[in-house]
Amino acid sequence: MLNILFEDENLVIIDKPAGLLVHRTRQAFGEEENALIQLRDQIGSWVAPVHRLDRATSGVLLFAKNEEILPQLKAKFMEREVQKTYLTIVRGIPKEKEGLIDHPLESERSKKLQEAQSKYKVKAKAEIPFNSTGRYPTSRYSLLEVELLTGRTHQIRRHLAHIRHYIIGDKKHGDNKQNIFFERQFGLQNLLLHAWKLSFVHPISLEKISLSCPPPVHFRTIMKILDWNPNEILTVTK
């Protein structure tokens, strides 16, 4: 059963598990398991995803429950009226505690450069007594809070790779040495990227919807290994 964070007659918001497709894709055409089908069957209603999360990414995901509200919700994303905040664990510690990554990204379809902006904030830092790269006796990592200002494909993963703070577990845009180290040392087989918070004004009721969901077990396990207390760090103030 999918964890439903919010539901009314117009929309439903879930906590998508890592590894679950949002909907069927050409790349995984033969796979029946996806969030759209599961949610439709679970609540007995037509649903359509308003935005996307990568298969490997967990967290808050918004669905429309009727065709009338779908374009209204999509418009909010297009007009940047939705605040999307993610958590991720990366290699190294950024020099600045807060920063803006303003770096255009090439569209996977058109191959044209598109405006792309991501804000980040360092929430926790760690240095552990392991030589993860063969170069230094210790290794350093950061927990980042990232807010998307635009919505490009793999934007956070590509932006953090651009500033060389690779997301742990990212096999496409990450650091292979770190991925191998975390898998062998700690048994990690997941991408450490989680859609943590979503905030927007409901287009019908005009109510402010602000939701958050804690990261999954594999993410919190690595936090504890890095000596970070998830309960303290992830407390959301209203």
Catalytic residue selected from 15, 54, 170, 175: 54
CA dist list (Å): 104 to 30, 72, 145, 152: 34, 27, 20, 9
Does residue 46 contact residue 65 with C-beta atoms inside 8 Å? Answer: yes
- What Rg do the C-alpha atoms of the chain give, in angstroms? 18
CA pair distance 175, 13, nearest whole angstrom? 32
Per the annotation, the verdict on 54 as an active-site residue is yes
DSSP secondary structure letter of residue 66: S
What's 122-151 look like in SS3?
EEEEEEECCCCCCCCCCEEEEEEEEEECCC
Q: Tell me the Ramachandran region of residue 66: left when phi exceeds 0, alpha when psi lies from -120 to 50, beta otherwise.
A: beta
Catalytically active residues are 54
